[in-house]
Structure 1
């Protein structure tokens, strides 16, 4: 089944979406929000799945056209958002571009940071940023949503705790990152809004592309209509999702609705392009001695999507425009 949240209050209104993303039906009589559904997933999932089957069979009353513009993030507020760096080839490339070696431990111990989950934004919402000087970049990623995960779980056990799968644009402000990392205390100001695909899907919707740990399909990222890259998310993923979940749950349990990100999808050699501008710039630096591609500017449009083997969209597209943000008390120009 595929689930979305229409904009309504802070936590959205849960709807079930048809497999082809054209129709939807209100699921409020089962659970008012996706978080409430996840809180009681053993009970709500079968009911939501039955509604999904009725919708896809054309046997459901009260359906309406599905409009991604009306969508909030499927989980507008999540209790926990942990983003990994599962594609170590991406980290290796970034470090190589600045002349830094990659510690051997990076290949055996995942990098993970805890991001801001109090206000995710929808797939068609603008990306508001105060200054272009902050180095505005997109990052196309795959994410999974868990149910309650016990502390100390093994990676094999973690497979059974992946309930939903989707995409995110994990926006980064690249020019703010060095100062923050220099303090050796992680990201904060350099990680603003994170946006989601219109829908999240249960693993069974993905067929053979989902092997229980990785999603084996290209992830397309375009800027102003130009394809930047379409690397396969199932290739060169050093740490799969069960490994990331087990890593995050090593010393604490994870609550239902935890969002685990893959980090920027990247393939060795980047033959199929990149899922962020930082990687493009790193490749230019290695080849030419300096980067030539600028980071995003106000008015730029980024699109992120994944399609199945037949070319049909799986989660709907993230389609956003970068806009200038004016703080309270400032005067718009």
Structure 2
């Protein structure tokens, strides 16, 4: 099942069910007005939404052509946005970029931070940039939307709390990060609004591509029309259930919490990058200094994941940097 949120002039939009080929949609407001409403009452809403999806595929419900430009993020705002860093190659490279060593618990204790969730960018929304010196970077990631998740949830049980899967562009301002982290209190100004893919899909919709709590697909990043990354998302060191076990150690999470994988990253350099910080670090290792600039107004980034038939399962994040 594939869900999305249609712009309607309100902050939270209207919930729609999207056809598998992404060509059309049906309103789901008879089941739940918004995706958050559906998540809050998932036991009731989920089978009814599946019924709408079946009718949409069969052509027995009123449908309309889909225009991705009319969509908000699947959750235009959320109770919590928790981002991990489950791809260890990324952790190692970006730590090197700021002359920091990886933590000694790198392979046993996931890194996470809590980002702003009051306003997310639509999949085709511009990325505003007030100052090029801040070092704007894209980060291509996989995300899970959780249902109510109790404190103390173990990895073996955590999969049942994953309601939907989607992609994101976790925008970063790289040149602001070192000074913020030096204060010992974490990210804040260096993490502006995140953008999400047009569609959020149930794990069963992914078939064999969803196993062991990981998305086994390539995540493609296209910068200014050039494919710069075709990275394997299945190489997550920590699975989503393992991340859930980590974050729920001391508190529970409400339905609508979004959990990110961190930047998709592979040791195999031939697969490219999912953020510019990695390319710059590789240049530093190979050539002594970085030469690739961060993003500037006019630059574009597209992020998507294709299935075996070339279909864009989550739709495409397609954004342009604009001067604010």
TM-score, normalized by length of structure 2? 0.98
Matched, 1:305 2:304: yes
In structure 2, C-alpha distance between the alignment counterparts of 1:173 and 1:99, rounded to whole Å: 17
CA contact (8 A) 2:98 2:178 kept: no
| RMSD after superposition | 0.9
1:258-297 matched pairs, under 5 angstroms: 258-297=257-296
CA contact (8 A) 1:148 1:161 kept: yes
CA contact (8 A) 2:223 2:302 kept: yes
Structure 2 runs not aligned, ≥5 long = none
- 1:121 Cα deviation from its structure 2 partner: 1.2
* Equivalent position of 2:32 in the other structure: 31
* Equivalent position of 1:20 in the other structure: 21
* Equivalent position of 1:217 in the other structure: 217
- 1:269 Cα deviation from its structure 2 partner: 3.1
- 1:97 Cα deviation from its structure 2 partner: 4.2
Q: Describe the SS at the equivalent of 2:43.
A: helix
Matched, 1:81 2:73: no
In structure 2, C-alpha distance between the alignment counterparts of 1:99 and 1:30, rounded to whole Å: 52
CA contact (8 A) 2:5 2:75 kept: yes
Aligned length: 323
- 1:104 Cα deviation from its structure 2 partner: 2.2
Q: Deviations over 1:88-139 (max 9, x none)?
A: 1111122234544323211110000000000011100100111111100000
Matched, 1:47 2:64: no
In structure 2, C-alpha distance between the alignment counterparts of 1:94 and 1:253, rounded to whole Å: 30
For the structure 1 residues 189 and 98, does the alpha-carbon distance in structure 2 shift closer, same or farther, using more than 3 Å as the test? closer
CA contact (8 A) 2:276 2:292 kept: yes
CA contact (8 A) 1:23 1:64 kept: yes
CA contact (8 A) 2:212 2:239 kept: no
Mean CA deviation greater in 99-108 or 33-42:
99-108
In structure 1, C-alpha distance between the alignment counterparts of 2:13 and 2:249, rounded to whole Å: 31
In structure 2, C-alpha distance between the alignment counterparts of 1:260 and 1:97, rounded to whole Å: 25
In structure 1, C-alpha distance between the alignment counterparts of 2:30 and 2:59, rounded to whole Å: 19
* Equivalent position of 2:138 in the other structure: 138
TM-score, normalized by length of structure 1? 0.95
In structure 1, C-alpha distance between the alignment counterparts of 2:98 and 2:177, rounded to whole Å: 14
In structure 2, C-alpha distance between the alignment counterparts of 1:103 and 1:186, rounded to whole Å: 15
CA contact (8 A) 2:17 2:53 kept: yes
- 1:299 Cα deviation from its structure 2 partner: 0.7
- 1:59 Cα deviation from its structure 2 partner: 1.9
Q: Deviations over 1:2-46 (max 9, x none)?
A: 000011201111000000100001100100000000000000000
Q: Deviations over 1:232-254 (max 9, x none)?
A: 0002x111100111111111010
Q: Describe the SS at the equivalent of 1:268.
A: coil
* Equivalent position of 2:166 in the other structure: 166
In structure 2, C-alpha distance between the alignment counterparts of 1:2 and 1:245, rounded to whole Å: 23
In structure 2, C-alpha distance between the alignment counterparts of 1:137 and 1:100, rounded to whole Å: 19
CA contact (8 A) 2:7 2:14 kept: yes
CA contact (8 A) 1:231 1:270 kept: no
In structure 2, C-alpha distance between the alignment counterparts of 1:260 and 1:247, rounded to whole Å: 12
1:35-114 matched pairs, under 5 angstroms: 35-60=36-61, 62-114=62-114
Q: Deviations over 1:205-244 (max 9, x none)?
A: 1010001400000000011100111110002x11110011
Structure 1 runs not aligned, ≥5 long = 326-333
* Equivalent position of 1:318 in the other structure: 317
* Equivalent position of 1:194 in the other structure: 194
CA contact (8 A) 1:97 1:286 kept: no
In structure 2, C-alpha distance between the alignment counterparts of 1:221 and 1:85, rounded to whole Å: 18
